[in-house]
Amino acid sequence: MSSCVWGRGESTYTHILSATTERRKHLRYGKFFDCACERCADPTELGTHFGALKCSQPGCGGSIVSTDPLLATNDAAWACDRCKYQVAATTVERSEQDSVLGAAGGGRRGPAEGGGAVAEVPIRPAPPSLPYGGDETHVVPGA
């Protein structure tokens, strides 16, 4: 039995510095429940924009966020909060994977690097430790 009294928000089952999609996956497959807390339900993650992508549409500068962050399948479309430009959830998922692989020295490779037949332009979420935006490697390619 714990000798401490835990207050609301003083304990967590997941990584608080992860984006909603990653936190919810961790909780679903590791702890066997779907979180529907205030942060998970908010597409901007209570204004932190941890999982947001910078919109690449000319002159926009908005944030691309999930249109339904509580969808258990994680396949809701993502849309810019300013211009409403939409991105498929699979594109965002690949972006997150590429970001992790890139940080580990890996990453998606095109034909010249011994990868698949078609090279893909990587998109990456803006790192939460840096000021949001301003880095051209963290944009979603335009349609």
> pLDDT tens digits, residue range 41-88?
999 999 999 889 989 899 998 999 999 999 988 889 999 999 999 999
- Return the DSSP state at 90: H
Structure tokens at 60: 């926009």
**Any domain includes 32:** yes
**6: in domain:** no
Q: What is the pLDDT of residue 77?
A: 93
Q: What is the pLDDT of residues 13-38, one digit of tens each?
A: 788 888 898 899 899 988 898 999 99
Residue 80: inside a domain: yes
For the chain, what percent of residues have pLDDT higher than 90?
29
The total number of structural domains that make up the chain: 1
Q: Is the pLDDT of residue 6 over 90?
A: no
| pLDDT at residue 130, as a whole number | 45
**Is 140 within the bounds of a domain?**
no
Does 62 reside within a domain?
A: yes
- Whether residue 68 is contained in a domain is answered as yes
* Within a domain: 39: yes
pLDDT in tens, 103-142: 555 444 444 444 433 334 445 555 555 444 444 444 555 5
Considering the domain boundaries, does residue 98 fall inside one?
yes
- Expressed as residue numbers, the domain containing 39 is 20-108
Question: Whose CA is closest to 52, among 123, 142, 136?
Answer: 123
